[in-house]
Structure 1
Amino acid sequence: MTKTVPQPHCDVRPQTRPLLRPDLSPARDRLIRLLRLKWVNGTVLHYWFDDGPAPQKEAVRKAFKEWKDLGIGLVFTEVADRSESEVRIAFDQADGSWSYVGRDVLSISANEPTMNFGWDLTDDYGRTTALHEIGHTLGMPHEHQNPFAGIVWDEPKVYAYFTGAPNHWTPEQTLHNVLRKIDVSEVEGSPWDPDSVMEYWFPAGLITEPARFKTGLNPPGGLSDADKEWVRRFFPTLEPTVPVLLPFQSVPLSLSPGGQADFSIQPQASRKYEIATFGTSDTVMVLFEEINGELRFVAGDDDSGEDRNSRVTAKLFQGRNYVVRVRLYWAGESGQTAVMYW
């Protein structure tokens, strides 16, 4: 994917920052910040196109399929109705290419896009752009902002380059997308991957260290081995069947940070139910109903950083199948939590 002419770059949308209590332990604070934007595995992400040329839409479909073909647990489904979507994709050629990151898309108004493509997606650079923006939606940041990368920038040259054509960014955009290092609390300590699909290309003269990139950085394009390893670890293939959660029976969960437990709920009566976790823990819990073979979101709760447990109240119907998924941030001193419904 070597560049012969300047190509535009992704202008990722700012992430929300959690307002956590200052008295949280460093470990608890770090795990919440690290995992808070990650989807519960098994989530079906419905995407909708806001018009756009057929070849561009097909390129995006192929990029979703390329991520899915890695064998991950997330599901990507195209829908024809905006109101059915979590991911809304526009093709505004005057707005560059960008996406919100991870679960932040859920906070965006249903009338606004969560992703945009501002240039042709049918060549190699466009294919990588589509994979890159979907990577943001999965929860991946820009790789060159990894605090462990050890990149030393010639900052005046960086500002001069990105404020010029073809990006025409403000200094604030350049700081946000290039120079700002991600807080160490929000990354896993993984080494820098210059081949990542989340890595920008840079012309000669912007990087002073490492020395081998003084002449420029040109990722090969597409998904790197590290990209594939990351997404498979966070969203592994799901088991074809999950255990049934019986009413009034507490089930202990021994999960590591980022780990997930899944249960089927098959109510014997149609009524309002409570589903909750117990113990000193931070979790995100999501309830889905199976409709025509697809899991659809019913309700969810995230108790991270709070002195309570995640809890969902919903009317469940006899004869229908539901799935509850619990993903752990932090499990206190005992490393244990539990889930029950009644």
Structure 2
Amino acid sequence: MVAPSRGQALSRRRKKEKVLKRVFITGTAGFIGFHLAKLLLAEGFAVHGYDAMTDYYDVRLKERRHAMLQQNEHFQATIGMLEDADLLNRVMEDFRPDVIVHLAGQAGVRYSMENPRSYLESNIVGSFNILEAANQLKVEHLLMASTSSVYGANEVQPFRETDKVDLQVSFYAATKKSCESMAHSYAHLWGLPVTMFRFFTVYGPWGRPDMALFKFTDAILDGRPIDIYNNGEMYRDFTYIDDLVRAIHLLIEAVPERPEDGQVDEGDSLSPVAPYRVVNIGNSNKVRLLDFVDAIEAELGIKAERNYLPMQKGDVYETYANCDLLKSLTDYAPKTDIRAGVGKFIHWFRDYYDK
């Protein structure tokens, strides 16, 4: 007798149990995880969140995000560390996800110079535990967060998924590239379908306090100077949060399949030896840092006191995404204009902090 394929077995299980499609999301108290969980719940998915509630930034903001999600009857959550494999496995065995979206991890380029061990433990050990659990459960699709930082010192713009990425310039980026390599090996060895996202400077309401938009807005409203590195001559592909999570939602159904003949279409990052693909998610529009600051000032109606500084270690001059692959897979492309996105963030910020 021929054993059912992974997809056939999962489809039969869902029909038998008559449940909503279940998605396990790590980092649901975080910025991106919160927005993704909110979208998927609105689209009719059942979501189980897993978050450590670490104090890298204000835990009260994380708790508020989770509290909002918990108003939906189809959301459950567990507080725990990715490094706690026993807890992670117990929770997943109980929930039995069809899909896993792994967004949790230690973020921030600059903090990786202060506390690199936290990146090793969370991003590498934690991601290994996710890979193990996903393989044991034979999920339909594992989707994992990487970063545009893996492009490192690459100079050819815009960045394409098929570019060689061996020149990371921060330990944060190095851990994320390591996760990409680990995931590819699991996809090859066990047939685990994996999609890696490379995010490009995500921003929007409920954003992280360590990100530039949050810090600049807070400082300008308080009359404090803002630090502008490389004298403002830096470029980022700012990606609005709603665009990002919409892309992730659509990619859930774009399950990679290993090509039988090892041939891959031009421009596709699909591995010739595994059901594994890397996908950029960006706005495909680089914005100069000084223009970004101008947009914040215009929305606030306040001129900032600017403190110009040299480039920081581990930072890169420019990020700019080619998102043709995302478009071809999903027929979707992020499009929110920077001024519109900044305006939405500032409206949320002033309301949330009563400023």
Measured against the shorter chain, the TM-score band is: under 0.3
Q: Could you say which structure has the larger radius of gyration?
A: 1
Structure with the largest fraction of strand: 1
Task: Tell me the TM-score normalized by structure 2.
Answer: 0.25
Structure with the largest fraction of helix: 2
Task: Tell me the TM-score normalized by structure 1.
Answer: 0.25
